[in-house]
Amino acid sequence: MTASLKIALRDVIDGVLQWPLWGSLAWRDIRQRYTRTILGPFWLTLSTAIFLTFFSLVYSKLFNLDLHSYLPYLTAGFLPWILFSAVVSESCTVFTAEKQTIANWQFPYSVFVYKVVYRNTIVFLHNFLILLVVYLIYGPVPSWNMLWLPVSLALFCLNAFWICILLGTLCARFRDVQPLVASILQITMFMTPIFWRPEMLAKRTAFIDANIVYHAISIVRDPLLGKAPATVSLVFCLASAVIGTSVALVLYGRFRRRIPFWV
């Protein structure tokens, strides 16, 4: 095991042991973001519900889709996309936003990464209220396949973790990475089957079959729709988690000591 990988693993493991810290920091961020509001974090839930309602009405008419099947599909795909895009966006500032803390305190920097992933997962769970309403109106019928959700969400968050630590390290050194990531996110949202179904294409293309975002969303969306995740998506996400985590940890371990100077 290389020295850089040992440094990264020690930081990540020490960060896990600091779970009371990043857990409380995540809740504090949520409370501060919605202080003096009546609905608090449920404002995001309300705005998402409004968006999904009007978007589904327009798209179902535009593409002649059955609203009863399209709205659950759209909702079950859009909610994990919100989680993914939020984590990726905040990854670019996961270290730079904590400049003062990093300069004055000694503790694992992975604490900030855990905080970002955990905080956005909490918001994602808030949005389950939208799914409950959609279930009551349009279905799907509850199925044992929904028990896949904790496994799928854990695999989803594992991929979000390595993306966060990788982008956080890169953006601390190269500030031009952040606007590039924002541009890629905008393109990815429309190229990934979130608002549309893969079968709507005459022929499947590489930006579906080789799209990690598509597979990550699919393993969460399928259980929410009462289906078991596709094996290919599970394998793809697992392989991505192993390879991505390895690359991210090597890079992070090599440049961790420089992060205080970069931020």
**What pLDDT shows up at residue 41?**
66
pTM of the model: 0.91
**What pLDDT shows up at residue 45?**
80
| Number of domains, the chain | 1
* pLDDT tens by residue, 144-177: 888 999 999 999 999 999 999 999 999 999 989 9
Domain that holds residue 218: 3-262
**What pLDDT shows up at residue 140?**
73
3-state secondary structure of 115: helix
Residue 240 neighbours by CB under 8 Å, 6+ apart: 159, 212, 215, 216
More confident site: 88 or 41:
88
Per-chain mean pLDDT for the chain: 88
